[in-house]
Amino acid sequence: MTSEETISAVVVDDEPLARQIVREYLSHHHDIIVAAECGNGFDAVKVIAETKPQLLFLDIQMPKLNGFEVLELIEHDVVVIFTTAYDEFALKAFEVHAADYLLKPFSQERFDEALAQARAKLGSQSADTLDALVRERHVSNKPAERVLIRDGAKVHIIPVGKIDYVEAEDDYVAVCSEGKRYLKQMRLSALEAELDPHKFVRIHRSYILNLDRLAKIELYAKDSRVAILRDGTKLQVSRTGYAKLKQFL
């Protein structure tokens, strides 16, 4: 990146004053253009898709969607500087390879240091992709409490307790909940790693079952079984899957 190039940025924070401070500090850096600012995670996902910024100033604790969930839903690479009033998120922020982590209130000098880190990432050909960032987000994390699914401009938030089962569909998973199917671009094994293994069991190479939805297991053919859910849905159970299920029956 040359000194003549401009950098587009989006500022996301639910506090207007916090957004104003970031804009004020950025006014000393004439090569950075604020493409947009947002007051919540839902708007951020939409605006980031539309403006495709290179740099993102992202609050962590926000209503409805937090900063980490925003990252999970956006679909293009961006360098992230987290801004937050809570220092307990610091380790997690660096686990997702953020350029820096600004603890509010921060000074112009500290802001400039974070911006220098971001510039270094922008200028590096080995910068982390967003996919890698999102994968790292889930490492050593407690089981997911909800699954986020983007559907065009809409975002579906599905509490894991409302998931009936999950089915593999090529590079996607179909999250089945309350009679509806929601497609998410993700490997079944990746989602399995996020779910509580005491509540969700991989019963087949193509299915993860919520144990609370299981009504009974029936013999379908020799060495072949089928799981029957409370709503009557039937899912094939592999030999390995049956062995896992027996631990909970």
Three-state SS annotation for 5-67: CCEEEEEECCCHHHHHHHHHHHCCCCCEEEEEEECCHHHHHHHHHHHCCCEEEEECCCCCCCH
Maximal CA-CA distance, the chain: 73
pLDDT digits (tens, 9 = 90+) for 141-171: 578 889 999 887 778 989 999 999 999 998 8
Instruction: Kindly list the structural domains of the chain, giving each domain's residue range(s) and its CATH number in brackets, ordered by start.
Output: 7-137 (3.40.50.2300), 146-246 (2.40.50.1020)
Q: Residue 75: is its pLDDT beyond 80?
A: no
pLDDT digits (tens, 9 = 90+) for 195-238: 999 999 999 999 999 999 999 999 887 778 999 999 999 999 99
pLDDT digits (tens, 9 = 90+) for 84-116: 988 777 666 666 678 899 999 999 999 999 999
Q: Residue 59: is its pLDDT beyond 50?
A: yes
Task: Please give the model's pTM, rounded to 2 decimal places.
Answer: 0.70
Let me know: does 100 contact 108? Beta carbons within 8 Å.
no
Q: Tell me how far apart the alpha carbons of residues 148 and 72 are, in angstroms, rounded to a whole number.
A: 8
Q: Find the DSSP H helices in 36-102.
A: 41-51, 67-73, 90-95
Q: Residue 139: is its pLDDT beyond 70?
A: no
Q: Which two tokens stand for residue 17?
A: 């004053």
Of the candidate ranges 29-43, 166-180, 219-233, the one whose mean pLDDT is the lowest: 219-233
